[in-house]
Amino acid sequence: MKFASAVLVLSASSAVALTIPRGSTTAPTNTAEKLYTIELGPGEISQATESQKWELRKQGKHFLDITDYLDFDISLVKRQAVTFPTRVSNQASVTAITARLNKANMQTNLETFSSYNNRYYKSTTGAQSSTWLFGRVNAIIAASGAAGATAKAFTHTWTQSSVIATIPGASTKTIVIGAHQDSINLNSPMNGRAPGADDDGSGSVTILEAFRVLLSDPRIASGQAPNTIEFHWYLAEEGGLLGSQAIFNSYKNAGRKVVAMLQQDMTGYVQATLNASQKESVGIITDYVDTGLTEFIKKVVTAYCRIPYAAMEYTSDLIHTTADTISTVNFDHMIEHGKMTVGFAYELAFAAL
């Protein structure tokens, strides 16, 4: 039901706790549990144990775990202004591609993805689910015949791997489509049942299907687009955006140019909106995003989706529990997010950015 847009891969929310200076590597001593440094909002730096992180998540509070990035200052990252298109200009091609989005594919993939006990980033089943996803991405590439497309597992210091699929363009300017592959039961992160069908199995499967149909376009598959497209399936989002931070940091160090990023998160649940007597819509995140890119995405939704966009307001109360199952997911709604994803990727792949 929601998406976020940005020129960078990071986002956060806000809360209040013990504040320490950014860049400090000093941690309190004489504590039985490991302390993590977390950022709850711009300039709001705190420390918390792992169990306290899960308590914050239970309260609906979001944060970044910056323990491994205490010396990283985002204000020092060189950012170039990006001017996004004022209108869509590839209607015929995008409409042809979106017609190939398949609900049955989405359902089959989500049934498997949500069948793992959980997709917690430190658990055995989390690693198994990541391996399955990597295999699905590679199978899509092989079936497409796109010689230049590749997939790789981005390894971390924990068990589960993030997945990155690349469709090269004529330049290394990159458009990123993302979703987080992990799921968690906040009452028992390691062993608790967490189907994560909506959070964020729906987003992961939505972009997987968008990836498949994009590769069916001859110009995209043959590398004729001016810009490169990447699909990212991040791990450890629930732990504080650990996977996306690691990838962003590696891209920064490599001098990569990420000109736009779209995050698909919880694309399948719509019932709360309907219960509130509101119209079904694509929910838009409005904080910690690039406003120019968000305005462009609104144009994409208007051009390619059968439903309008609206400010993000309603989400499932079932996430992070055993009840976030496939029965709560609306695949017609996911198709609309698939249309928006394809339109976003195709339009920007051929845009002068």
Query: What ranges do the domains of the chain cover?
Result: 2-8+79-349
Query: Of 2-16, 76-90, 199-213, 243-257, which range is least confident?
Result: 2-16
d(C-alpha 325, C-alpha 79), whole Å = 40
Residues 53 and 56: their CA atoms lie apart, in Å, by: 5
3-state secondary structure of 171: coil
Please write the tens of the pLDDT for every residue from 46-66.
Answer: 999 999 999 999 998 989 999
- Cα–Cα distances in Å, from 16 out to 31, 114, 286? 21, 34, 21
Q: Does residue 11 surpass a pLDDT of 70? A: no
Please name the residue that has the structure tokens 């995003």: 289
pLDDT tens figures, 172-229: 999 999 999 999 999 999 999 999 999 999 999 999 999 999 999 999 999 999 999 9
Contact status, residue 97 vs residue 346, Cβ threshold 8 Å: yes
2-8+79-349: CATH topology: Aminopeptidase (3.40.630)
Residue type, 129: S
* Residue 14: pLDDT over 50: no
Tokens in use for 246? Answer: 């690691």
Please report the pLDDT score of residue 46 as a whole number: 93
pLDDT tens track for 276-332: 999 999 999 888 889 999 999 999 999 999 999 998 888 899 999 999 999 999 999
The pLDDT of 132-155, averaged and rounded, is 97
What percentage of the chain's residues is helix, strand, coil (to nearest 5)? 35, 15, 45
Q: How far is Cα 208 from Cα 212, in angstroms, rounded to an integer? A: 6
